[in-house]
């Protein structure tokens, strides 16, 4: 039996990869977006159905979701688009998934869990690199130390690059600063306010704290009240962070943001096929108990955009097939802490 799911934003960098890989596997998602001139050529090339609608038009959005079991939302920044799509999914009783990594999008969707239960649908954000591998890593670590009260995770990308959408989202949210979770609450901090040395599976790297999605999601996956996420950085990271902090008044200006995002649209291409095949990401995680006991783990995964396509496709297929429950879930809650290990090129090592 065929279960229909829809990719909204299929003409975007990641949406296009998802559409192409799904079609190559014989799957038949419906492609969708705002612009027919961008969606129709891709749909015809892949021999897939397509639908054109703007999320600001409630009637056309509802019509577009007829006959759809699940939506995989790929049109960011999600802080600007996810609420309207979630509203539509609740009205139409369609499962909602996305590939966001934005902390406050996760928080906003979690707050709507009761609505999802009442509508009988799943809210499952973050089914890409943000946050499938790190969420599964966190869930695996807490299994080994259930009494943990602190979680730290870090990641280091090798041989990759950022897409237009990722960079534009970074510009959109930079002036908000960094974020960590302390005593169960999300706390705003300066970007890269903490740096340290972390031993990954291949070597030791310097890392700096960032406002990654797990500051939101790992709390729901593990119950751990203190969470800090890091990314591997160069020695210039603190300098860049201070410079960007000084520029915050400018970056927070809507006109300046629009200019920077337009420049990104014109100049950035994103990772190429070679990067998808040869790139990889190393993750490290550590949980610590009140008494000082700790457990660590490494997780090695393929390049982030390539992994996003794979995990998002599987997640959307399972949701469309009715294999998820009503309410809000993180990836590890929906599919188990071992979900990430189902994908080729992944290796979890508990230390």
The sign one gets for the Cα dihedral 156, 332, 191, 79 is positive
Q: Mean pLDDT, to the nearest integer, of 221-231?
A: 96
Q: Is the pLDDT of residue 223 over 90?
A: yes
Q: Is the pLDDT of residue 261 over 60?
A: no
7-16, 250-259, 323-332: which has the minimum mean pLDDT?
A: 250-259
For residues 156 and 204, give the distance between their C-alpha atoms in angstroms, rounded to a whole number.
Answer: 10
Domain extents for the chain? 5-128+306-335, 132-304
Cβ within 8 Å of residue 150, ≥6 positions away: 224, 226, 227, 287, 288
Q: Print the SS3 string covering 129-160.
A: CCEHHHHHHHHHHHHHCCCEEEEEEEEEEECC
Considering the four listed CATH numbers 3.40.50.10540, 3.30.360.10, 2.40.50.140, 3.30.450.20, the one that applies to the domain covering 132-304 is 3.30.360.10
Domain 5-128+306-335 identical in fold to domain 132-304 = no
Confidence of residue 275 (pLDDT cuts 50, 70, 90): low
For residues 212 and 279, give the distance between their C-alpha atoms in angstroms, rounded to a whole number.
Answer: 20
pLDDT of residue 190: 79
5-14, 121-130, 159-168, 262-271: which has the minimum mean pLDDT?
A: 159-168
pLDDT of residue 158: 82
139-185 per-position pLDDT tens digit: 999 999 999 999 999 999 886 544 444 444 455 545 556 899 999 99
What percentage of the chain reaches a pLDDT higher than 70?
A: 81
pLDDT of residue 215: 97
- Look-up of token digits 């009715």: 322
Q: Is the pLDDT of residue 85 over 50?
A: yes
Q: Mean pLDDT, to the nearest integer, of 113-122?
A: 98
- For every residue of 84-96, DSSP letters joined together read HHHHHHHHHT-EE
Here the tokens at position 276 are 């998808």
**pTM for this entry:** 0.88
Higher per-residue pLDDT: 46 or 77: 46
Q: Is the pLDDT of residue 127 over 90?
A: yes
Please count the CA atoms within 13 angstroms of the CA of 276 that sit on its side-chain side: 16
Mean pLDDT of the chain: 88
What percentage of the chain reaches a pLDDT higher than 90?
A: 75
Confidence of residue 254 (pLDDT cuts 50, 70, 90): low
**How many residues appear in the chain?**
351
pLDDT of residue 351: 93
Confidence of residue 236 (pLDDT cuts 50, 70, 90): very low
CA distances from 45 to 36, 104, 127, 134 (A): 14, 36, 26, 34
Q: Is the pLDDT of residue 126 over 70?
A: yes
pLDDT of residue 146: 98
183-200 per-position pLDDT tens digit: 999 999 877 678 899 999
For residues 167 and 77, give the distance between their C-alpha atoms in angstroms, rounded to a whole number.
Answer: 10
User: Assign residue 300 a region: left if phi > 0, alpha if psi is -120 to 50, beta otherwise?
Assistant: beta
Q: Does domain 5-128+306-335 have CATH number 3.40.50.720?
A: yes
Q: Is the pLDDT of residue 273 over 70?
A: no
Cβ neighbours, 10 Å, residue 120: 12
């Amino acid at each position: 039996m065929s279960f229909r799911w829809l990719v909204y934003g299929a003409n975007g960098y990641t949406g296009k990869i998802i559409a192409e890989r799904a079609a190559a596997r014989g799957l038949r998602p419906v492609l969708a977006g705002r612009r027919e001139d961008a969606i129709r050529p891709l749909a015809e090339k892949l021999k897939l159905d397509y639908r054109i609608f703007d999320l600001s038009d409630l009637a056309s959005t509802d019509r577009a979701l007829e006959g759809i079991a699940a939506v995989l939302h790929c049109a960011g920044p999600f802080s600007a688009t996810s609420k309207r799509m979630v509203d539509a999914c609740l009205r139409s009783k369609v499962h909602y998934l996305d590939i966001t990594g934005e902390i406050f999008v996760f928080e906003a969707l979690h707050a709507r869990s009761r609505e999802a239960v009442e509508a009988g649908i799943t809210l499952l954000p973050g089914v890409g690199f943000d946050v499938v591998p790190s969420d599964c890593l966190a869930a695996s670590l807490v299994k080994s130390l259930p009494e943990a009260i602190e979680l730290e995770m870090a990641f280091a990308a090798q041989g990759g690059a950022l897409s237009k959408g990722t960079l534009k989202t970074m510009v959109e949210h930079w002036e908000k600063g960094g974020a960590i979770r302390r005593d169960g609450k999300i706390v705003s901090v300066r970007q890269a306010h903490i740096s340290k040395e972390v031993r990954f599976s291949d070597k030791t790297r310097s890392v700096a704290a960032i406002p990654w999605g797990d500051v939101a999601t790992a709390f729901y996956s593990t119950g751990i009240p203190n969470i800090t996420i890091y990314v591997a950085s160069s020695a210039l990271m603190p300098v860049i962070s201070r410079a960007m902090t000084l520029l915050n008044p400018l970056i927070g200006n809507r006109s300046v943001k629009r200019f920077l995002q337009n420049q990104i649209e014109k100049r950035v291409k994103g990772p190429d096929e070679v990067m998808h095949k040869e790139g990889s990401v190393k993750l490290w995680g550590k949980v610590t108990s009140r008494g000082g006991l700790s457990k660590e783990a490494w997780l090695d995964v393929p390049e982030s955009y390539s992994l996003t396509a794979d995990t998002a496709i599987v997640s959307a297929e399972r949701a469309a097939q009715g294999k998820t429950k009503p309410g809000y879930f993180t990836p590890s809650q929906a599919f188990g802490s071992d979900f990430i290990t189902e994908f080729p090129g992944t290796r979890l090592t508990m230390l």
